[in-house]
Chains A and B, each alone.
Chain A
Amino acid sequence: MTALSRERIGTLLARQGILIAFAIFIIAFTLANPKFLTVDNVFSVIRSSAILGVMALGVTFVVISGNLDLSVGSMMSFSTIVVLDLHDKIGPLLAIPAMFAMTLALGALIGLLVGYLKLNSLIVTLGMLSAIHGLTLTYSGGKNMDIADKEGTWFSVFGQGTALGVPVPILMFLALAALLGIVLAKTPFGRKVYAVGGNGTAATFAGIRRARTVFTCYLISAGCVATAGLIQASRSLGSQNTVGQGLELEVLAAVILGGASLMGGSGTVFKTVIGVLILGFIQNGLLLMGLQFYVQFVVTWIIIILAVWLDIAAKRGRLWSPIA
């Protein structure tokens, strides 16, 4: 009986541990500072997490398919710079689809290399991180990009507007999360992503076109990155070349925190959203407590290790690793 209930607690922790941790955080921060759980503050947290969150949605697909994407940060810088530059040259209405097309082309290139040529995704995207950064610098000539007429453009709606009292970035993040959540959980394509990540060989024998599935995952990731770049560009209406630098690791941290395994085959969009929110709320909560931003680095470190550790400990049924 006790063994059974302990097992149950273990399963519960493994399945819902991240939600429990999230609840504990919210309660603790609210007790420490009543301002924490106000509508204004919650909105501001989600809004500032939206860019990271949109990127994390795409990376979730890539990670579930058993690969990595370290290039999303520099790709986001690229799309931000491109859309800002084209805004003044061909107008926002054309600039946005042009930027999406260019970003998707980069995603397709990665998908080609990892999916069809079966190259190691860590190294390919590491190379692309560097290459796309170089591409961005070449494109902009190393200069900051700014929109000439910052007051008169409707382009700012994606980053600064509100609809029905809710900031647009939040709406875009949630709508995209809902859409991709349905794609991953309810469509044949979603099931293929899990199959390819869970056991690639078995998936191939089951008639799933592995290369095409991986390729599509990278396209989705690039689409999300382009959306994040759009929000970023629209919010600031001007940008440095390095705006997305380092984001790839934060994004990955959020996805891992959501419980997706780097081995592939597990994770959900909903849990990634929770992972993103946890990172956002921790950052915000620690700032409200008057702590410096770098304390958040250390706390994030501890949380990532604990979250993943508990996850695999529950799966293997013992806390400590069996490695001799």
Chain B
Amino acid sequence: MQAGALSNALKKGAIWGFIVLELVFFSVAGEYLSLSDKAFMDLDNMLLLFKQSAPIGIIAMGMTIVMINGNIDLSVGATFAIAAIILLDSMTWPILAGLGDWVIPVSWLLALAAGTALGALNGLIVWKTGVDAFIVTLGSMLGYRGIVFMFNGENPTSHLNWTLVDFAEAQVLGLHTATWFLLGVTLAIWYLMTRTVHGRNAYAIGDNREAAVNAGIRVGPHMMVNFMIIGFLAALSAVVFYSESGSVNPNDGQLYELWVITAVVLGGTKITGGAGNIVGTFGGVLAIQLLRKGLGHIGADTSTVNLVIGLILIAVLILDRQLNVKGKEALKT
């Protein structure tokens, strides 16, 4: 029993141990390899790290719920792009022209509503047809991307609103706006998953759907709500990111689903559902961003980042399996 608890503690702590390892490694290696004089553990650098983690991190929180629930969402990248286009495009609509800067909250709401609606559509299809979420969202990943292209063909959609840029670039208590959004979302979803009935049901359904049905949980609507949450968060991620950048390409957000799933799995969430936690995902997001930044710091290019992240993902899987096997053996004796 104690060995089981130990392996659990090991698993929960693993991601943070990994982050510390990364920090030490890049700080030391940076002394010798880095081209810049700045230390890796610089405060500004770390604050920037949080800010750059926000787009992937915000979506990853939604993906954690969906994966704990036993589903998956591959369409988040396309939803992200649609929300971004609606955000920027709607600010130029003649109907909203008279609003002045009040157009900003309206555009935000429109973008967020669109993301939620797209998530709801995914959830509704999963619920009503019984088709596996992997297939449903694989399809909508294509379909939503098609919708993205319908707005403006292959041209970028651009609109810079300086009030919005100022807001996005602001720093409150030293943290950037995007960081605050990431922290807020993390806290809200953590509360949802650990302190509410909805969160407990998510674990129950992911662990054993049949048992959850027998226990009287309405599985269909529950899953749909989770898809709406991830759609909303994908849109929120776009809102935070594009408020600052002001220009969106129709291919933006591609491969986001892969980054997000990698972060969530690194954070210890089971792809088969029923297990996982928000704090772990937060660690996974930071670990990935640290890796990208750190490798850049010591002069490695993107190819190495891809290689290393892929290998780490597989290594984590092997490690996780070994720990699980050990835990089971401990129970037997």
Binding site for B on A (CB under 8 A): 113, 117-120, 122-124, 126-138, 142, 246, 249, 252-253, 256, 262-263, 292-298, 300-302, 304-305, 308-309, 312-313, 316, 320-324
Contacts and interface: CB of A to CB of B under 8 A. Distances in A.
Contact of B142 (A142, A249, A262, A312): A249
A214 to B, nearest CB: 16
B268 to A, nearest CB: 12
16 contacts: A123-B261, A123-B314, A123-B317, A124-B314, A130-B262, A134-B306, A135-B303, A137-B306, A292-B149, A294-B146, A294-B150, A300-B142, A301-B146, A305-B125, A323-B219, A324-B220
A253 B137 CA distance: 11
A293 B139 CA distance: 16
Question: Which one of B132, B213, B307 has the highest number of Cβ atoms from chain A below 10 Å of its Cβ?
Answer: B307
B interface residue count range (under 10 / 10 to 19 / 20 to 34 / 35 or more): 35 or more
Nearest to B303: A137
Given A113-B314, A294-B146, A320-B129, A304 B138 contact: yes
Question: Which one of A118, A126, A135, A138 has the highest number of Cβ atoms from chain B below 10 Å of its Cβ?
Answer: A126
Contacts of A298: 142-143, 146-147, 150
A111 to B, nearest CB: 13
A128 B220 contact: no
Given A322-B130, A324-B213, A127 B311 contact: yes
Given A130-B313, A298-B146, A137 B129 contact: no
Given A123-B271, A142-B303, A301 B310 contact: no
Contacts of B305: 134
B129 A321 contact: yes
B310 A127 contact: yes
Contacts of A120: 271-272, 317
10 closest Cβ contacts across the A-B interface?
Answer: A301-B143, A131-B310, A321-B130, A297-B146, A134-B307, A137-B303, A134-B306, A294-B149, A130-B310, A127-B313
A128 to B, nearest CB: 6
Contacts of B310: 127-134
Contact of A296 (B132, B146, B317): B146
Contacts of B148: 294
B278 interface: no
Contact of B135 (A142, A308, A313): A308
A321 B124 CA distance: 11
A122 B271 contact: yes
B248 to A, nearest CB: 15
Contacts of B301: 137, 142
Contacts of A142: 301, 303
A18 B148 CA distance: 28
Nearest to B310: A131
Contacts of A256: 135, 138
